[in-house]
Amino acid sequence: MKAGAYLSPKCVAMTEKEIPVPKMDEALIKVSYAGICGTDMMIYHGVHPRAEAPLILGHEFSGIVIEADENHHVKKGDKVVIEPLLHCGVCSACQQGQAQVCKDLRYIGIDQHGGFAEYVAIPVHRLRVLPESVTEKEGAMIEPLAVAVHTVRRSKLKIGDTVVILGAGPIGLLIGLIARQAGAGRIVISDVSSMRLETANEMGFEAIDARHTDISHVIKKYTDGVGADVVFEVAGNQATANQMIECVKYQGEVVVVSVYKKSPTIQLAAMHFREISLTTTRCYHSSDFSKAIELLEQQKIQLDVLVSHTLPLEEIQTGFDLMENPDQALKILFEL
């Protein structure tokens, strides 16, 4: 079968692999669509702390069940999405049902072979059957959508709130869509890429170009000098870690979604004087994954606008090259 593998830093390639043979309690999946994510880019650059080459990447993907034992909840022909978290099941967090903060959390596509391949064997308990109306293409974006659902559900966002999102990448834009569903009032998103700002505008958000405009001034102007109720930090750098505090209202909330390549300095003194809350979020709970699927089934969320490219797996290197420049790509999907 065809498989897209990370071979060494800055080198990915299409390789030929044996079709995997499912072990007990695994199903064989024919992959339909698989997305490239920021974490894949970290692996590609050789800076991911766990991923080891050679590795078939891909943790955001959908497919069709080709082979599964009869006693499972999935059957041959089912359209499925993969929930890629692998948790230990025995640590305190797992026992409390909070697998997303498992002390030994692992991922399909990072710690073991993933979905950039024609076929993959997946433990059946990691498979979700998609409703009829949810397409396989949408299915490949449920994983990042679940990140946004988890983020907004962990926040204190209330109806009518003014929301700021720093960073209009796929995750920032998805948080915007979910915040809108959750009843947010004004949603202002900043970025430094013209293409991403255009997409944010197209999606009905107020887009601010952080290269030319001080976002905290804009927010103060909109709120009589008070600030936003909730600020989501989704750009992941020192400038936005400062801005999140400058933009937020007294007793407001900053929500850190970013995974920082270098841990920023946070102005705790400034936070203290205005009783600002800080919330962090990590991936998603299984219930967030379910909500993401439900929102798509109910057609509350349109994801097409996020897809900048759909490529054959043969063009894996092109996909990773495009992802290097935020002005060239947003969500890239491989069609298997």
Footprint of ligand NAD on this chain (CB under 6 A)?
37-38, 147, 166-172, 190-193, 196, 210, 234-237, 239-240, 257-259, 281-283, 326
Query: Per CB under 5 A, which of residues 146..185 are in contact with Zn ion?
Result: none
Tell whether residue 85 is a contact of Zn ion (CB under 5 A): no
Shortest distance in whole angstroms from residue 38 CB to ligand NAD: 4
Q: Using CB distances below 5 to 8 A depending on partner kind, what does residue 94 bind out of ligand NAD, Zn ion, none?
A: Zn ion
Q: Using CB distances below 5 to 8 A depending on partner kind, what does residue 167 bind out of Zn ion, ligand NAD, none?
A: ligand NAD
Task: Name which position in 31, 80, 94, 296 contacts Zn ion (CB under 5 A).
Answer: 94
Q: Using CB distances below 5 to 8 A depending on partner kind, what does residue 190 bind out of Zn ion, ligand NAD, none?
A: ligand NAD
Q: How far is CA 299 from CA 1, 133, 150, in A?
A: 35, 9, 19
Tell whether residue 88 is a contact of Zn ion (CB under 5 A): yes
* Region of 66-74, 93-101, 226-234, 312-320 interacting with Zn ion (CB under 5 A): 93-101
Q: Using CB distances below 5 to 8 A depending on partner kind, what does residue 234 bind out of ligand NAD, Zn ion, none?
A: ligand NAD
Q: What 3-state class would DSSP assign to 169? A: coil
Shortest distance in whole angstroms from residue 109 CB to Zn ion: 8
Helix 170-181 with 142-154: angle, nearest 10 deg: 60
Task: Name which position in 36, 37, 171, 192 contacts Zn ion (CB under 5 A).
Answer: 37
Biggest CA-to-CA distance, the chain: 63
Q: Which residues share a beta bridge with 333?
A: 35, 310
Tokens encoding 295: 């929102």
Within 10 angstroms of residue 78's Cβ, the number of other Cβ atoms is: 19
Nearer residue to ligand NAD within complex by CB, 196 or 291: 196
- Cα 152 to Cα 161: distance, rounded to the nearest angstrom: 12
Tokens encoding 154: 């962990």
Q: What's the gap between Cα 252 and its chain centre? A: 24
- Cα 320 to Cα 314: distance, rounded to the nearest angstrom: 12
Q: What 3-state class would DSSP assign to 10? A: coil
Report the interface residues with Zn ion, using CB under 5 A. 37, 39, 87-88, 91, 94, 102
